[in-house]
Amino acid sequence: MQSKPLTLTLLDALSIIVLGVATYLALFFAPTERVMGEVQRVFYFHIGTAWTALMGFILAAVFSVAYLATKNLKWDRYQVAAVEVSLVFFFLTIVLGSIWARPAWNTWWTWDPRLTTAAVTELIYIAYFMLRQGIDDPERRARFGAVYALIGGLSAPVTFFAIRLFRTIHPVVIGGANAEAQGGFAMTADMRVAFFFALFAFTIIFIDLYWNRIRLGDLQDKVEQLKLKVTM
Amino acid sequence: MNITESRSASQPAPGSFLKAVSAVVWKDLQAEFRSRELFSAMLVFSLLIILIFNFALELDIKTRQSVTSGVLWATFAFAGTLGLNRSMAIEKDRGCMDGLLLAPVDRSAIYFGKVISNLAFMLIVEIIVLPVYSVLYNINLFQPGLLLVILLGSIGYAAVGTLLSAMSVQTRTRDILLPILLFPVVIPVILSAVKASGGYLEGLPFEEILSPLSLLIAYDIIFTAVAFMVFDNVVEE
Amino acid sequence: MITVKKLVKRFGLKTVLRGVDFEVQPGEFVALLGPNGAGKTTFLRILASLSRPSLGQVTVAGYQLPHEAAAVRARLGVVSHLPLLYGDLTAEENLRFYARMYGITDHHSRITEVLEMVGLENRRRDLVRTFSRGMQQRLAIGRAVLHDPDVILFDEPYTGLDQDASAMLDDVLKTVAAKGRTVVMTSHDLARAEDLATRFDILSRGVIAASIKREGLQNGNLLSFYKETLAA
């Protein structure tokens, strides 16, 4: 039995700590935003989860290329782990966004480019898992998964760009001008602390979950291998 | 072994690529013109979808103007999956896919052959649906611009659809999986095609139609290129 | 004509072929025997360039797989238990399609020749859909020899055939083999194999467990040889 690496255990602990600190910073340390009030606080986690999920999806597309080029199943395990963790994180992003949108836009949901792209992206990666579920041969599953993650990873940004041809009401908080009209705001120094710490915290948590998921995949493989040995 | 080695080397002769593509297309069209299975299913299905939209949307004169392009593209998308599924199932059923793969031709010739015949089936159905729709709802759909949009949209749809249907026929869930895989990744096509068709129907100036039109062209190029590059991985073990 | 060295094929974690060494001289007719699940079909698919070897060397007709697959394919005919024919095309149209795929220039006379050989010249304009299983299988053989291949692979050609159809197939197989072609046939029908082949190889548990020439069979009894090998 392969024991859990010490670094991973430490990372688990660190994840819990940074999650606590990020929660504190977001809920208590950061000042209440003057227009939207308390609900604006979901913003920190909203961005934190969104950023890491998007990184994960980009990683998944990179692993597609790596797998198709090398046919090494290691990349497939990395990809599944990345998509799985990102799918959950992105779902959180959408839920947090909805909570914020209810008072800010007076609706849970609107068909704005970012929201629509988010929904489409979730559907793409759900389809990814449905595709994998229908295939028994692990090599074919990896090949098809890689092809689909590549096509999906390319089409999601194109979808975003396509919907942008229509008007958007989503605020651009970072690097956007004239955003206040739709619920944007200027960040104060304390808000920035909470914001950047949330980004940092979710990156750590993502890496931790991701690592654990890869380890789980490796262990699953081991179990399968041992099972085969027993039945042989 | 001298005789064998002096015959054609490992590279197929030039021109054999196009010959193989046209052989696949011709074979599909010939079989389809005989059975008309796929074609009649797609056509009847299309008409039924339009009928359902008629009740679902209450297509009176005012709404007609604004929703026509949406109704058309929803119809094409749904009927398209039907055709893609069937076209690939024919290759799978009697092991014909292996037959294609055993031929000494590049795999991309098989891909392009299937794309072209799938595209042909879609276009034939669309060419019939358009006048029917025109007559039923008294809208002139025979505008060169609109036909161009339909061609470009169908190319993108068939290019990605052929790749994904080659995957979905090899899974346990087969038929039901294709739309689930295909729809989320062809949203850019549907979106810009609806926008561009709507633009032509409302008689907007060309500048306003240009952006969805160029997006459509960009999608066609990018995704045909990618599908072409990864097709080997979908059919070969 | 066919050289296989230390061939290993894995499907994910499952190893189907574990080090197959196999050599066929030009003009030999080898029957590949073995219980179900021994890897016969997998092995044949690798020879046919339809499946990639995980490890080991495979050379067919002087070309290495999988790198020179196109050259191998041009010299190879394959008949599987599926006919690889289109039901909505006539016998002639099916052959014409494959003739074009193989780049055969003078296909009209070749198609007639092949149809005569498999005894279907009077059905050339009938849809394959209307053919019996045996007729389809004969046409499948016609398809496989259309481009006059040096090597022919038969994967369980007798599956689903009745007595008469099998007898007719025997004749066609003998004609095909008589032209000095190299043939490898998988089968679990020992009587048929004994009738046709010049050499018998037994594939068991992912390796060639035994190989014997027709002359070497003691009082011509393949069955007892087969049973002894599997019992060992």
pLDDT tens readout for residues C88-147: 999 999 999 999 999 888 888 999 999 998 889 999 999 999 999 889 998 999 999 998
| In contact, A141 and A196? CB cutoff 8 Å | no
Chain C residues close to B94, C-beta within 8 Å: 82-87
What percent of chain A stands above pLDDT 70? Answer: 90
Mutation test of the interface with chain B: which of C101, C127, C129, C146, choosing the one with the most B Cβ atoms within 10 A? C101
Residue length of chain B:
237
Question: Among residues 77-106 of chain B, which lie with CB inside 8 Å of chain C?
Answer: 90, 94-96, 98-106
Q: How far apart are the first and last CA of chain B?
A: 29
Q: Which chains touch B (3 or more CB pairs under 8 A)?
A: A, C
Residue partners of C16: CB distance under 8 A and separation at least 6: C9, C10, C39, C42, C206
Residue partners of C198: CB distance under 8 A and separation at least 6: C28, C29, C30, C213, C214
Closest CA to A59 of A160, A142, A146: A146
Q: Is the dihedral of CA C160, C166, C171, C177 positive or negative?
A: positive
Q: d(Cα B157, Cα A49) in Å, to the nearest integer?
A: 33
Chain B residues close to C127, C-beta within 8 Å: 34
Output the CA angle A159-A135-A157, nearest 5 degrees.
10
Identify the closest residue of chain A to B188 by CA–CA distance.
A159
Alpha helices in chain A (DSSP H): 6-24, 42-70, 73-105, 113-133, 138-163, 189-231
Q: How far is CA A121 from CA A36, A151, A154, C189, in A?
A: 28, 12, 11, 53
Tens of each residue's pLDDT in chain B, 237 residues: 333 333 334 445 556 889 999 999 999 999 999 988 888 999 999 999 999 988 888 777 777 777 888 999 999 999 999 999 999 999 988 889 999 999 999 999 999 999 999 999 999 999 999 999 998 888 888 888 999 999 999 999 999 999 999 999 999 988 789 999 999 999 999 999 998 998 898 888 888 888 889 999 999 999 999 999 999 999 987
Q: Is residue A179 predicted with pLDDT exceeding 50? A: no
Provide the residue type at A91 as one letter. Answer: F
Q: What is the pLDDT of residue B6?
A: 33
Q: What is the pLDDT of residue B7?
A: 36
Strand partners, C212: C200
Rounded mean pLDDT, A9-20: 92
**What DSSP assignment string belongs to A29-95?**
ISPPBTTTBGGGGHHHHHHHHHHHHHHHHHHHHHHHHHHHHH--HHHHHHHHHHHHHHHHHHHHHHH
Output the CA angle A52-A57-A58, nearest 5 degrees.
95
Q: d(Cα A155, Cα B222) in Å, to the nearest integer?
A: 10
Q: What is the pLDDT of residue C85?
A: 93
Q: d(Cα C23, Cα C6) in Å, to the nearest integer?
A: 11
Q: A167 CA to chain B: closest CA distance, Å?
A: 13
CB contact under 8 A, A137 and C11: yes
For chain B, say whether A150 makes contact (Cβ under 8 Å).
yes
Rounded mean pLDDT, A143-159: 94
Q: What is the pLDDT of residue B13?
A: 58
Q: Note the pLDDT tens digit of each residue in A39-84.
A: 888 889 999 999 999 999 999 999 999 999 998 889 999 999 999 9
Q: How many CB pairs under 8 A join A and B?
A: 92
Asked if residue A138 has a cis previous peptide bond (ω within 30° of 0), the answer is: no
Q: Is residue A169 predicted with pLDDT exceeding 60? A: no
Identify the closest residue of chain B to C84 by CA–CA distance.
B96
Q: What is the pLDDT of residue C219?
A: 67
Chain B residues close to A134, C-beta within 8 Å: 171-174, 177
- Give A67 or A160, the one with higher predicted confidence: A67
- Backbone phi, psi, residue C30, to 5°: -100, 130
Mutation test of the interface with chain A: which of C8, C14, C46, C52, choosing the one with the most A Cβ atoms within 10 A? C14
SS3 (DSSP) at C22: strand
Identify the closest residue of chain B to C47 by CA–CA distance.
B102
Residues on B contacting A at a C-beta cutoff of 8 Å: 160, 163-164, 167-168, 170-174, 177, 180-181, 183-188, 191-192, 195, 211-212, 215, 218-219, 222-223, 226-227, 230, 233-234, 237
Closest CA to A199 of A80, A62, A79, A43: A43
Chain B residues close to C102, C-beta within 8 Å: 103-104
User: To which H or E segment does residue B22 belong?
Assistant: helix B16-35
Q: d(Cα C52, Cα B237) in Å, to the nearest integer?
A: 6
Q: How many CB pairs under 8 A join B and C?
A: 99
Q: Note the pLDDT tens digit of each residue in A80-124.
A: 999 999 999 999 999 999 988 888 888 888 887 888 889 999 999
What ipTM was assigned to the predicted interfaces of this complex?
0.89
Chain B residues close to C78, C-beta within 8 Å: 98, 102
Residue C127 per-residue DSSP state: B
**Positions of chain C with pLDDT under 70:** 219-220
Mutation test of the interface with chain A: which of B230, B232, B236, choosing the one with the most A Cβ atoms within 10 A? B230
Q: d(Cα C72, Cα C64) in Å, to the nearest integer?
A: 8
pTM of the entire structure?
0.90
Q: Is residue A187 predicted with pLDDT exceeding 80? A: no
User: To which H or E segment does residue C185 belong?
Assistant: strand C182-187
Can you say how many angstroms the Cα of residue B219 is from the centroid of all Cα atoms in its chain? 14
Q: What is the CA radius of gyration of chain B?
A: 20
Residue length of chain A:
232
Helices then strands, counting H and E runs in chain B, come out as: 9, 0
Residue partners of C182: CB distance under 8 A and separation at least 6: C1, C2, C24, C25, C26, C27, C28, C29, C150, C151, C152
User: To which H or E segment does residue B147 belong?
Assistant: helix B144-168
CB contact under 8 A, B234 and A161: no
CB contact under 8 A, C12 and A225: no
Exposure letters A40-74 (e unless 16+ CB within 10 A, then b): bbbbbbbbbbbbbbbbbbebbbbbbebbbeebebe
Q: d(Cα A142, Cα A144) in Å, to the nearest integer?
A: 6
Closest CA to A65 of A149, A176, A177, A155: A149
Q: d(Cα C78, Cα B70) in Å, to the nearest integer?
A: 48
Residue C157 per-residue DSSP state: T
Angle, nearest 10°, between helix axes C91-101 and C107-117? 130
Rounded mean pLDDT, A166-180: 54
Q: d(Cα A232, Cα C189) in Å, to the nearest integer?
A: 26
Q: What is the pLDDT of residue B127?
A: 92
Q: d(Cα B22, Cα B39) in Å, to the nearest integer?
A: 20
Mutation test of the interface with chain A: which of C13, C18, C42, choosing the one with the most A Cβ atoms within 10 A? C13
For chain C, say whether A73 makes contact (Cβ under 8 Å).
yes
Q: Is the dihedral of CA C175, C178, C182, C185 positive or negative?
A: positive
